[in-house]
Structure formats: structure tokens, C-alpha cells
């Protein structure tokens, strides 16, 4: 059994569309550019997400010119390119009612663009120099603007098992992997949810360590192409076999990991499991 990397993706703006890549640098906070930006309420700095603004899923984002330019596109608004400000005016922001400190505001033009795209007054911010945020779990690690962890890992076996269960219901359509917004998708092990049991793994020179299972809210019910809610799947079916009593009885899919050793990863890389969690 050889486990390999099937897909890689990063999400430059938290909640917006991801960028799939053949290779990526992995830093202590995750894949390069991952959740480096965040859309916030223009008044109080609270983060916006697909939970309340599902249209974010269909906003396409590109990081260009070696990380100097952000290109944005969405339905019914003109595309926009803006220079990325790494050390400009600050704005206090929060996530899940917890202050995250001051982030770098990206200016009025992109704020107006997101306000138009989402129909709500918004600002775009970037992590500030020196931003230092801890994750939590078995190995906490560090994190940018992701919910709480650096790298989300899922497997094709887990998705295949879920879709078999959805299909067996006879009244729903299988879901694609992008509903779960993973950073790294693994293949080669036919055991569903084997990624939950990996304590430590190496991919090339990158080492990841288990933090927690990835509990799920309403976001997987959002069609990531259209930006419209398309529930009740996959949450309805996951709720029949993936409840997590230790996490408030939420459902889970995928595993969240911390970065122990930085480096480069590529699609096709072999994954070496150094240690498994005891069951």
C-alpha cells in the first residue's frame, strides 16, 4: 500500500475559492498563501464566511507576480487586480467572537469590490508582519486565518465511502471533494478516514502532526462552484456515522494537522506514516 498526494490546494482569501496547484511550499502556518487574507465586517472587523455569505465560495482569487498582486473575479462585478499591502494601515479583526489583533487593511478599492460582491459592507485584510496565532489539539502548531489549524488533510477513500452512503439513500447526488476545502488530498489507502489515525506523516521533507479531527458546520452544504446552498448533503449522511461526542456531537470529515517541518510538497509525492494514533 503506497499512499500518495492526489491534490493540493490553498485558499488565499478565507472563505473564497481555492487554487489547485501541482506543488507548493509549506510553512509553519500551512501552504504558502493559504488563508493569508480575510474578509471582515466593515464596522466591527468580524470575519465573514460561507456560513452567512455562501456567495464567497464562487469568488475566484489568484495571487500573482510572486505574491505582489491579488486578482479577484465574481459574477455580476467587474474583475479587480490590486497590489497587496503587507505593512499598511491596521484594522482590528476577530473570528468566532475572539480578537485576533490588528491586520493590514487592503484599501478602499478592494473593500468596495467585496461589498458589492457580497451585498454587505466589507473590508479585506491581510495577516500583519509578526502575526503569531496558536492552533490547538494534540499538536497545536501555528495558523494564519484558517479556523484553527494549518493544514486540512482528507482522503479519496473517505469521500468514496461518504458518496456510496449518499447514493444508497437514493435521493441525493454525490458531492465533490471541494465541499470540504482540504489542503492535501491523499490516495492509495482504501480505508475510509485513515487520515484520522495518522499521528505523524512525512511528505517529502515536510512533516505534519495530528491536531484534531475536522468538525463540520454548514459550509460543506454550499456548492463551491455556484456559491449557493445545496444541502442537506453531505451533512445529513455524515450525521448518521461521523458524530464526534468529544466535540459537541458535531460531524467530522478529514483531519487537521500542524506543520512540524517546513518544505515543499507536490502531487504524486509518497506519504510516509511515521506514527499512528492508538484506537
Q: 212-236 pLDDT, tens per residue?
A: 999 999 999 999 999 999 989 999 9
pLDDT at residue 18, as a whole number: 97
**Strand pairing category for 69-74 and 77-83:** antiparallel
Q: How far apart are CA 94 and CA 279, in angstroms?
A: 36
Confidence of residue 202 (pLDDT cuts 50, 70, 90): very high
pLDDT at residue 1, as a whole number: 83
Report the SS3 class of residue 19: strand
Neighbouring C-beta atoms of residue 239, cutoff 10 Å: 14
pLDDT at residue 172, as a whole number: 80
C-beta of residue 267 within 8 angstroms of C-beta of residue 5: yes
pLDDT at residue 85, as a whole number: 98
C-beta of residue 49 within 8 angstroms of C-beta of residue 11: no
H-state helical runs in the chain: 108-118, 156-169, 235-238
Mean pLDDT of 26-44: 98
Mean pLDDT of 99-125: 98
Q: How far apart are CA 47 and CA 123, in angstroms?
A: 9
Report the SS3 class of residue 245: helix
HSE toward the beta carbon, residue 259, CA cutoff 13 A:
25
Furthest CA-CA distance within the chain: 53
- Average pLDDT over all residues of the chain: 97
Mean pLDDT of 90-112: 98
Integer angstrom CA distances of residue 68 from 84, 127, 153, 173: 5, 14, 28, 40
pLDDT at residue 231, as a whole number: 84
Which domains occur in the chain, in start order?
3-31+135-276 (2.40.33.20), 37-126 (no CATH)
Cell of 50: 460561507
What pLDDT digit, counting tens, does each position of 57-74 carry? 999 999 999 999 999 999
Q: What percent of the chain has pLDDT over 90?
A: 96
Degrees, nearest 5: CA angle 58-61-63: 170
DSSP 95-155: ETTEEEEEEEE--HHHHHHHHHHHTS-EEEEEPPTT---B--SSS--B-SSSSS-SEEEEE
pLDDT at residue 278, as a whole number: 86
Quick check: 279 pLDDT over 80?
no
Amino acid at each position: 500500500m503506497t499512499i500518495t498526494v492526489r491534490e493540493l490546494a490553498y485558499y488565499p482569501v478565507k472563505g473564497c475559492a481555492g487554487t489547485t496547484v501541482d506543488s507548493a511550499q509549506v510553512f509553519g502556518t500551512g501552504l504558502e498563501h493559504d488563508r493569508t487574507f480575510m474578509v471582515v465586517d466593515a464596522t466591527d472587523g468580524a470575519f465573514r464566511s460561507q456560513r452567512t455569505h455562501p456567495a464567497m465560495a464562487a469568488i475566484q482569487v489568484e495571487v500573482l507576480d510572486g505574491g505582489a498582486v491579488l486578482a479577484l473575479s465574481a459574477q455580476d462585478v467587474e474583475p479587480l487586480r490590486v497590489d497587496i499591502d503587507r505593512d499598511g494601515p491596521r484594522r482590528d479583526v476577530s473570528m468566532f467572537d475572539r480578537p485576533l489583533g490588528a491586520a493590514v487593511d487592503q484599501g478602499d478599492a478592494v473593500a468596495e469590490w467585496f461589498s458589492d460582491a457580497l451585498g454587505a459592507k466589507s473590508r479585506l485584510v491581510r495577516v500583519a508582519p509578526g502575526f503569531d496565532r496558536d492552533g490547538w489539539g494534540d499538536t497545536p502548531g501555528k495558523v494564519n486565518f484558517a479556523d484553527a489549524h494549518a493544514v486540512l488533510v482528507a482522503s479519496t477513500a473517505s469521500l468514496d465511502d461518504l458518496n456510496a452512503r449518499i447514493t444508497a439513500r437514493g435521493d441525493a447526488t454525490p458531492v465533490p471533494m471541494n465541499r470540504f476545502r482540504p489542503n492535501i488530498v491523499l490516495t492509495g489507502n482504501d480505508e475510509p478516514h485513515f487520515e484520522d489515525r495518522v499521528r505523524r506523516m512525512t511528505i517529502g521533507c515536510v512533516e505534519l502532526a495530528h491536531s484534531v479531527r475536522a468538525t463540520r458546520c454548514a459550509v460543506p452544504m454550499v456548492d463551491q462552484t455556484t456559491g449557493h446552498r445545496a444541502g442537506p448533503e453531505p451533512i445529513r449522511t455524515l450525521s448518521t456515522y461521523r458524530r464526534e461526542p468529544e466535540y459537541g456531537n458535531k460531524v467530522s470529515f478529514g483531519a487537521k494537522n500542524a506543520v512540524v517541518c517546513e518544505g515543499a510538497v507536490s502531487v504524486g509525492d509518497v506519504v510516509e506514516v511515521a506514527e499512528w494514533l492508538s484506537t
